[in-house]
Amino acid sequence: MKLAIVGATGLVGGEMLKVIEARNFEFSELMLVASARSAGKKITFKGKEYTVIAMEEAVAKKPDIAIFSAGGGASLEWAPKFAQAGATVIDNSSAWRMNPDHKLVVPEINARVLTENDKIIANPNCSTIQMVVPLAPLHKKYGVKRVVVSTYQSVTGTGKAAVDQMMTEREGRDGEKVYPYQIDMNALPHIDVFLENGYTREEMKMTNETKKIFGDDSIHVTATAVRLPIMGGHSESVNVELSKPFDLDEVRSLIANMDGVVLVDDVQNNKYPMPLDAHGKDDVFVGRLRRDESQPNTLNMWVVADNLRKGAATNAIQIAEYVAQKFMVANS
């Protein structure tokens, strides 16, 4: 199986290589792909040096799977060309997520919707992924009625330039700014662009993508997304109104037994999820489970995940694993 990583020189592209190695994802040929200006760069992976190639060359090589993390513009232009060449494209940008002709997939929840004919598959937004994974067993058991979520997001979600801005500010040096204000020692309630309704595009992604992943437009989601001067992962305060009464111990059991979730919920011993502990890990960590005493059938939880791993690279590789096993091994 020929595998292409498109956007291999970026933060998420580099994380994808780590995940491929950690999960021992098998391939016969690996193509590391980037923009024309990055072509010719060298990347060492598993002791072998690879030369980064440009898009045109990668399409001509006809990969079986192409995992994109190159931005929405590049994806809109190039994903169809890879698909026409026979590749199954798994795209990490927002370009295809809400397109009704393309599936939006979190493997633990809805991989079953994929067919052999799905040639461009969308990877959800990082904040959405980590929220819906622990919500899935609750929705199945009780029905999720409404979600109020506030996010506390790592600068790594913006990319290397944002990490550089935070570190230069922390060191008291001048440097390039990708945020409209200082990020170190600050909190910006501003992720992505503001829309006419006063929400940011990041916040509306969480609303719309949740409905599509669960295939249920009756779920109401309202979000506030905040950027913090941290690295390691995103955190979320999630308030969930369920359609039926619940037992808190049963909720703990459902979440603890969900694939891809680690329950860290022992407040008597100060055990709860933190970005420091999630960094470099593929799981979603959940804690601070407690009943909302202000209204019935409502639950509070604290959810943390490494946004470059499960929020991006790991989820994409999991989709690739499913596609390879379900459709390519069967046909080989």
Question: Is 102 among the catalytic positions?
Answer: no
User: Which of 102, 139, 234, 279 is the catalytic position?
Assistant: 234
Asked whether the beta carbons of 81 and 105 are under 8 A apart, the reply is no
Cα distance between residue 322 and residue 271, in whole Å:
34
Neighbours of 68 (CB within 10 A): 29
To which residue do tokens 């500010």 refer? 169
Alpha carbon 133 to its chain's center: 11
3-state secondary structure of 18: helix
State both tokens at 41. 């760069």
- The two most distant CA atoms of the chain are separated, in Å, by 60
Radius of gyration, alpha carbons of the chain:
20
Would you call 236 exposed, middle or buried from its count of C-beta atoms within 10 A (0-12, 13-18, 19+)?
buried
Could you tell me which of 156, 162, 194, 155 has the C-alpha nearest to residue 178?
162
Q: 284-291 and 298-305: which strand pairing?
A: antiparallel
Alpha-carbon span 206 to 224, nearest angstrom: 10
- Told to judge if 126 belongs to the known catalytic residues of this protein, a careful annotator would answer yes
- β pairing state of 65-68 and 284-291: unpaired
Catalytic residue among 126, 139, 220, 279: 126
3-state secondary structure 151-214: EEECHHHCCHHHHHHHHHHHCCCCCCCCCCCCCCCCCECCCCCECCCCCEHHHHHHHHHHHHHH
Q: Show which residues are catalytic.
A: 126, 234
